[in-house]
Structure 1
Amino acid sequence: MQVTETLNEGLKRGYAITVTAAELDEKVTEKLKEAQPDVELKGFRKGKVPLPLLKKQFGQRLMGESMQEAIDGAMNKHFEDSGDRPALQPEVKMTNEDWKEGDDVKVEMTYEALPDVPELDLSSIEVEKLVVKAADADVDEALESLAKTAQEFETKDGASEDGDQVVIDFVGKVDGEAFEGGAAEDYPLALGSGSFIPGFEEQLVGVKAGDETAVEVKFPEEYGAENLAGKDAVFDVTVKEVKAPKAAEINDELAKKFGAEDLDALKGQIRERLEAEYAGAARQVMKRGMLDKLDGMVSFDLPPSLVDAEAKQIAHQLWHEENPEVQGHDHGEIETSEEHQKLAERRVRLGLLLAELGQKAEVEVTEAEMTQAIMSQARQYPGQERQFFEYVRQNPGMQQQLRAPIFEDKVIDLIAEQAKVSEKEVSKEELQSAVESLDEE
C-alpha cells in the first residue's frame, strides 16, 4: 500500500492512496479462510470446501468489503502517523474508475486539517464580574407577579377575555386523523399564557360556555414530535366553563401555597432567585469579556470549510430574524457578507480554542447533564415530552446542539478558575444595559 502526498497548502491536504491487487487478494483470502470452517456446499462436508472453490463462489462478493477496509485502514494509519485531525469528513474518490479485478485500486483523499492551537497563559486574563443585590422594590414586584400565578378563577357569565381561564375538552387532528397526546377533557387553559401552540389561545378569546369551535393552527417547523412538525392541525374544542381571575392576597397563606413557612420566608426565597438570575446575566457579560480577551490572544490558520459553513449559518439565522413571517427553509440561497465572514472567523477560532482547552483538561459532559438539558427543552412541548426525548435520542445532530453549550460553559468555568476575576457591584439597570450591549456587538 502506498500513500503519497499530493497537496500541502495551508491546512489543505491531499493524498494518493494505492492499494495493490496483491493486497486486495490477500485480504479476500484472509476473509475466506476465516469463514471456511463454517461454510457448507453441496458435495462437501462443513469446513471442507476447498479455498479455490470458495474464492470462485464468494470472492467477488468480498472484494468490495475488502477494498473499503483497506482504504479505511490506510486513512486511519495516515491520521495516526501524521497526527492530522480533519476539520470535516475527508473527501475520498477512486481515480481509476475503469477498475477491474486484478487492477490496483487508486484513491484520492483530500481534507482540511485542524490547526495547531497555541498554548495560552490563562492566569494572564483579567475580567470583571458584575454583582447585583436584589432591592426590596424588586422583591415586591416579583412577589406581586408570583401572586398573579396563584390567582384563583371564578365562574363568570358571558364571553371569555384575554387573561380568563376556559375549561375545555379538545381533540386535535392532522389530515382528519386524531394524533397521540392531542386530546384532553376538562382542561383548564389560561388565555394569554402561551402554554399552547401559537395561535391556539387567541382563537378562544370571545367564546362562551357551551360553545363548540374548531381551532386551526400550524405546528412549528422545529416541533419536538417529528410527525407533527410543520403540520396543519384542527382542534375540535368544546367550552365547558369560562372563569375570570381573582387576585390572590399577599400574606402568609399565599406563602404557604408556595411551600414557604411565612411571607418573610417567601420573600427570602424570591430574593435568592432574583440574585441567581442576576448572577446568570452577569456571567454572560463576563463570558463575553473573557471570549474577547481570548480572541485577542490567539491567531492561527482556520479551516476555510468550517468558516464558510459558519458564515452561511449566521447569514441564514439573521435572515430569518429579519423575516419572521417565513417559517420554512424553502427560500432561495442567502448570500454571506463580509460581516458574516468576520463573525464566523471569530466563532470558529474561539470554538477550536475552547475545544482544545477542554480536551486537554479532559472536560466531559455527563449523562445527567445531557438528561437535564433534554428535559429543559422538552418542557417547551407540553404533552409531547416523550416524543421529544425519542427525537433527540435518534438525532445525533440534535444531541450535539444540546451538548455543545454545556461543554463550552464548563470550559469557561475552567478558564475562570485560572483567570483573575474581580467583582464590581452595580445596579440592576447597569447590569441590564451591559446585557443589552451584548446583542448590539
Structure 2
Amino acid sequence: MQVTETLNEGLKRAYSIVVDAAELDSKVNDKLVEAQPEVEMKGFRKGKVPMALLKKQFGQRLLGEAMQESIDGAMAKHFEDSGDRPAMQPEVKMTNEDWKEGDDIHVDMSYEALPEIPDLDAKSIKLEKLVAKPDDTAVAEALDSLADSAQNFEDKTKKTAVAKDGDQVVIDFEGSVDGELFEGGAAEDYPLVLGSNSFIPGFEEQLLGSKLDDDVEVKVAFPAEYQAEHLAGKDAMFKCKIKALKKPVKAEVNDELAKQFGAEDLDALKGQITERLEAEYSGAARAVMKRGLLDALDKQVTFDLPPSLVDAEAGQIAHQLWHEENPEVEGHDHPEIEPTDDHKSLAERRVKLGLLLAELGRKAEVDVTDAEMTQAIMNQARQYPGQERQFFEFVQQNQQMQQQLRAPIFEDKVVDYVVELADVTEKEISKDDLQKAVEALEDED
C-alpha cells in the first residue's frame, strides 16, 4: 500500500492511496480460510468445501469488504502516524472508476486538519465574579407574587354588579349542536375565570356584563382542529345560568399562604424563597463571568480555523436567525439563506472557542459521567409528561441527541476547570445591577 501526499496548504490536506491487487487478494484468501471450517454446501461435508469453490461463491462480496477494510486501515494508520485529526469526515473517492478485479485500487482522500492549539496560561486570566444577595425587598416582592398567584375569589355583594374580565362566574351550562345535546357539553356549578381562555374561543367573552341569576345563551363555533372530531368546525349553543359572581381577592401573606406552597409557616417560606433567589442570582452571576472568560479566551489565544467548520457554523447561525425572524415558516421549504459577514464573524468566534474548550478539556481529562448524562436526559424528559420512558429510549438509540445533551455539560465543566485556575475577584452588587449585567449579555447575543 502506498500513501502519497498531494496537498499541504494551511489546514488542507490531500493524499493519494494505492492498494495493490496482491494485498486485496491476500485479504480475501485470509477471510475464506477463516470462514471455511463453518461453511456448509450441498455435496460437501461441513468445512470441506474446496477453496476455489468458496472463492467463486463468496469472493466478490469478500472483495468488497477487503477493499473497504484496506482503505479504512490506510486512513487509520495515516492519522496515527501523522497525528492529524480531521475537522470533519474526510472526503474519500475512488479514482480508477474502470477498476476490474486484479487491478490496484486508487483512492484520493482530502480533509481539513484540526489546528494545533497553543497552550493556555489560565492563571494569567483575570475574572470578576459578581455577588448579589437577596434583601428583604426582593423576598417581599417574591411573596407578593406568590400571593397574586394564590388569589381567592369572594362574592360580589352589589346587586348591580356585572361580570368583568378576571372575575369568576359559577355557572350551570348545557350545550347543543343542531338542537341536540352532546356528551360532555354540560356541567353544574362550574367555576370559570373570565379571560382564562379555558373554554372555546368566544365563549367567555359572551359572559362579560352578565349579572347574578342571568340566563345567557352563548353561541360559538368549535375549532376546525377540535379534538372531538364529531364536533370539529360545528356551530354550538350553550344555555348558561349565572349562579354566583365573584371578584378576585389577593391572598394574604401569612402562615396559611405558606402552607399552600408546602412550607410549615411564613418564616419557612421566606427561607425557601431566599434560597431560591440565591440560586437564581448565583446562576446569573455565573453566566456573566462565563461570558467574561470566553471573551478573555477569544483575545488571548489565536490559531488557524478550519474553513469547513466556520462555513457550516455560519450557515447554521444564518438559518436559525432567519427562522426566528420568520416564525410562521415551520419547515425548511424556503430560499437558500446566505450567511452575512456578521454571521461569519460570530461563527469564527464559536468555532474558535469550541475547539479551544475541547482541547482544554482533553488535556485536563474532563469527562461527562454516566450519572450526569442520566440527569440531563431526565431533565429533558420532563418536557414530555407521560412519555418520559419513550424519550429516554429515543436518546439511548440516538448518538446525535446524546451529543447535543453532552456538549453543554462538557463545556460547563471545562469552564469550571479554567475558572478554578484563573485569578478571580469578587464584587458585591445589587440585584438591579446584576439584572443589568445579564441584560447586557442578551443585547450582545
* TM-score normalized with structure 2 length: 0.81
Asked whether the 8 Å contact 2:165–2:195 carries over to 1, the reply is: no
Find the partner of 2:289 among 286, 290, 310: 286
Partner of 2:269: 266
Partner of 1:388: 391
Partner of 1:318: 321
- After TM superposition, list the pairs within 5 Å mapping 1:21-420 onto structure 2: 21-151=21-151, 206=205, 214-215=222-223, 234-236=226-228, 247-420=250-423
Q: Could you tell me how far 1:333 is from its partner in structure 2?
A: 1.0
Residues 81-130 of structure 1: per-residue CA shift (max 9 Å, x gap): 11111111111110001111111111111111111111111001001011
How many angstroms apart in 2 are the aligned matches of 1:3 and 1:374? 44
Asked whether the 8 Å contact 2:165–2:194 carries over to 1, the reply is: yes
- Residues 1:407 and 1:84: Cα distance change in structure 2 (over 3 Å): same
- Residues 1:367 and 1:124: Cα distance change in structure 2 (over 3 Å): same
Residues 318-361 of structure 1: per-residue CA shift (max 9 Å, x gap): 22222233222221111111111111111101100000011111
Tell me if 1:436 matches 2:428.
no
Q: Could you tell me how far 1:205 is from its partner in structure 2?
A: 5.0
Amino acid in the other structure paired with 2:372: E
How many angstroms apart in 2 are the aligned matches of 1:205 and 1:380? 30
User: In terms of Rg, which structure is larger?
Assistant: 2
Partner of 2:425: 422
How many angstroms apart in 2 are the aligned matches of 1:342 and 1:165? 57
- Residues 1:423 and 1:163: Cα distance change in structure 2 (over 3 Å): farther
Amino acid in the other structure paired with 2:271: G
Amino acid in the other structure paired with 2:412: D
How many angstroms apart in 2 are the aligned matches of 1:56 and 1:343? 58
How many angstroms apart in 2 are the aligned matches of 1:356 and 1:348? 12
What secondary structure sits across from 2:294 in the alignment? helix
How many angstroms apart in 2 are the aligned matches of 1:241 and 1:311? 60
Amino acid in the other structure paired with 2:288: V
Tell me which moved more, 90-99 or 252-261. Answer: 252-261
List alignment gaps of at least 5 residues for structure 2.
157-161, 172-190, 208-215
What secondary structure sits across from 2:116 in the alignment? coil
Partner of 1:17: 17
Amino acid in the other structure paired with 2:349: R
How many angstroms apart in 1 are the aligned matches of 2:383 and 2:200? 16
What secondary structure sits across from 2:227 in the alignment? strand
How many angstroms apart in 1 are the aligned matches of 2:323 and 2:372? 30
Residues 126-170 of structure 1: per-residue CA shift (max 9 Å, x gap): 0101111112121111112223444467999x9996697999xxx
- Residues 1:339 and 1:246: Cα distance change in structure 2 (over 3 Å): same
Q: Could you tell me how far 1:44 is from its partner in structure 2?
A: 1.4
- Residues 1:36 and 1:166: Cα distance change in structure 2 (over 3 Å): farther
How many angstroms apart in 2 are the aligned matches of 1:241 and 1:52? 93
Amino acid in the other structure paired with 1:252: D
How many angstroms apart in 2 are the aligned matches of 1:380 and 1:113? 39
- Residues 1:299 and 1:43: Cα distance change in structure 2 (over 3 Å): same
Asked whether the 8 Å contact 1:165–1:245 carries over to 2, the reply is: no
How many angstroms apart in 1 are the aligned matches of 2:366 and 2:195? 42
How many angstroms apart in 2 are the aligned matches of 1:364 and 1:30? 40
How many angstroms apart in 1 are the aligned matches of 2:374 and 2:202? 35
Q: Percent identity among equivalent residues?
A: 70
- Residues 1:277 and 1:105: Cα distance change in structure 2 (over 3 Å): same
Amino acid in the other structure paired with 2:319: H
Partner of 1:171: none
Q: Could you tell me how far 1:277 is from its partner in structure 2?
A: 0.4
Residues 225-250 of structure 1: per-residue CA shift (max 9 Å, x gap): xxxxxxxx542399999998664332
Tell me which moved more, 246-255 or 280-289. Answer: 246-255
Asked whether the 8 Å contact 1:160–1:166 carries over to 2, the reply is: no
Q: Could you tell me how far 1:314 is from its partner in structure 2?
A: 1.2
Q: Could you tell me how far 1:386 is from its partner in structure 2?
A: 3.9
RMSD of aligned alpha carbons = 3.5
How many angstroms apart in 2 are the aligned matches of 1:277 and 1:432? 11
Q: Could you tell me how far 1:260 is from its partner in structure 2?
A: 2.3
Asked whether the 8 Å contact 1:159–1:207 carries over to 2, the reply is: no
- Residues 1:163 and 1:357: Cα distance change in structure 2 (over 3 Å): farther
How many angstroms apart in 2 are the aligned matches of 1:34 and 1:165? 82
Amino acid in the other structure paired with 1:358: G
Q: Could you tell me how far 1:38 is from its partner in structure 2?
A: 0.8
Asked whether the 8 Å contact 1:166–1:191 carries over to 2, the reply is: no
How many angstroms apart in 2 are the aligned matches of 1:15 and 1:301? 21
Asked whether the 8 Å contact 2:130–2:427 carries over to 1, the reply is: yes
Asked whether the 8 Å contact 1:94–1:106 carries over to 2, the reply is: yes
Tell me which moved more, 295-304 or 137-146. Answer: 137-146
How many angstroms apart in 1 are the aligned matches of 2:73 and 2:241? 69
List alignment gaps of at least 5 residues for structure 1.
168-187, 217-232
Amino acid in the other structure paired with 1:74: A
Asked whether the 8 Å contact 1:129–1:283 carries over to 2, the reply is: yes
Q: Could you tell me how far 1:271 is from its partner in structure 2?
A: 1.2
